[in-house]
Structure 1
Amino acid sequence: MKITRQKHAKKHVGFYKYNFQVREPFQVLLDGTFCQAALRNKIQIREQLPGYLGGATQLCTTRCVLKELESLGKELYGAKLIAQRFQVRHCSHFEDPDQDLAKKVKKKPGVPLLFIIQNTIVLDKPSPKSLAFVQAVQANQLVPEHQKQSLKQLKEKEGLGKEEKEKRKRKRVGGPNPLSCLKKKKKVQETKQPPAAKKKRKRKRSRAKPQPVQQCAEA
Structure 2
Amino acid sequence: MGVQKKTRKFAQVKRAISLRDSRLKENHAKNDQKNNAKKDDIVREVPQVSSALFFQYNTALAPPYSILVDTNFLSHTIQHKLEVIPSMMDCLYAKCIPMVTDCVLAELEKLGQKYRLALRIAKDPRFERIKCDHKGTYADDCLVDRVIKHRVYIVATNDRDLKRRIRKIPGVPIMSVARGKYVIERLPDAPEK
Normalising by structure 2, we get a TM-score of 0.52
Distance 1:88 1:94 in 2: 17
Q: Does the 8 Å CA contact 2:175/2:185 hold for their aligned counterparts?
A: yes
SS state of the match for residue 29, structure 1?
Answer: strand
The answer for unaligned runs of 5 or more in structure 2 is 1-53, 141-160, 188-193
Once the two structures are aligned, what percentage of the paired residues are identical?
A: 26
Aligned 1:50-129 pairs, distance under 5 A? 50-85=89-124, 86-93=127-134, 95-99=136-140, 100-125=161-186
Structure-2 change in CA distance of 1:27 and 1:52 (3 Å) = same
More strand, by proportion = 2
Distance 2:82 2:66 in 1: 18
**Highest RCO, 1 vs 2 (Cα 8 Å, sep ≥ 6):** 2
More helix, by proportion = 1
Q: Does the 8 Å CA contact 1:64/1:94 hold for their aligned counterparts?
A: no
Q: Which amino acid aligns with 2:137?
A: D
Residue 94 of structure 1, CA deviation: 5.3
SS state of the match for residue 110, structure 1?
Answer: coil
Q: Does the 8 Å CA contact 2:106/2:137 hold for their aligned counterparts?
A: no
User: Segments of 4+ in structure 1 off by > 4 A?
Assistant: none
Q: Which amino acid aligns with 2:123?
A: Q
Distance 2:100 2:165 in 1: 16
Residue 119 of structure 1, CA deviation: 1.2
- CA-based RMSD of the aligned residues comes to 2.3
Distance 1:116 1:26 in 2: 17
Aligned 1:1-219 pairs, distance under 5 A? 19-21=57-59, 22-85=61-124, 86-93=127-134, 95-99=136-140, 100-125=161-186
Structure-2 change in CA distance of 1:119 and 1:94 (3 Å) = farther
Deviations 1:174-217 (A, max 9, x none): xxxxxxxxxxxxxxxxxxxxxxxxxxxxxxxxxxxxxxxxxxxx
Between structure 1 and structure 2, the one with the greater Rg is 1
* Paired residue total: 111
